[in-house]
Amino acid sequence: MRLVLVGPPGAGKGTQAQFLAAHYSIPHIATGDIFRANLKAGTALGLKAKAFMDSGELVPDAVTNEMVKERLLGADLEKGFLLDGFPRNVLQAQVLRANLAQKNSPLTAVLELSIDNAQIISRLSSRRTCKECGLPTSAQEKCPACGADLYQREDDRIEVITRRLEVYEEQTSPIIAFYRSQGLLITVSALGSVEEITQRAISALGADS
């Protein structure tokens, strides 16, 4: 199973990625983890990325593409992988397709978690985070895990969420059409409990597993 997970911020991609990767016994590859690993190891690509990040600029596609390409050479990917956070635009999707074609290991499917903007804004703007343990929760006063005070993260404010959704529509949503045209796209609703969404996704992917 070689899978890409896509969807807007707040769709629950990180949570579903963990459950789906465990179900299919494949590594969960998050681009944030790749960046952190390269930065920590001080690789040539990590140093390139750091130079852009330190100057407040976005890391260019070329650097991100190379980091992902190297990760996809990992010996632990024999059974497949689940990519989370990549590709973020059509150019990256095209580079990914070319890299996998070289290995004769094309994508199995692209899973889209679908949820409308109103639901996302409601979900994220009501979220609070524990000051002590970092648990995200829908509680509004005390952490249900440790009882500490909660706060609202800056990126959970309505105006910030709205802008993040605009950026997603501008930059990332075109890859939905890209993968739909290749017959790879499978769309499932991101509404319901975590367990319901996971089972919905597994059912939809079943024929491709």
Mind telling me the catalytic residues? 13, 88, 127, 153, 164
Task: Classify strands 128-130 and 150-151 as parallel, antiparallel or unpaired.
Answer: antiparallel
Cis peptide leading into residue 87 (ω within 30°): yes
User: Strands across the sheet with 136-137, in order?
Assistant: 136-137, 128-130, 150-151
The burial of 8, by beta-carbon neighbours within 10 Å (0-12 exposed, 13-18 middle, 19 or more buried), is given as: buried
Contact 86, 67 (CB under 8 A): no
What is the Cα–Cα distance from 82 to 106, expressed in whole angstroms?
13
Residue 71 has which token pair? 């990760």
- Which of 194, 135, 206, 195 lies closest to 11 in space, CA to CA? 194
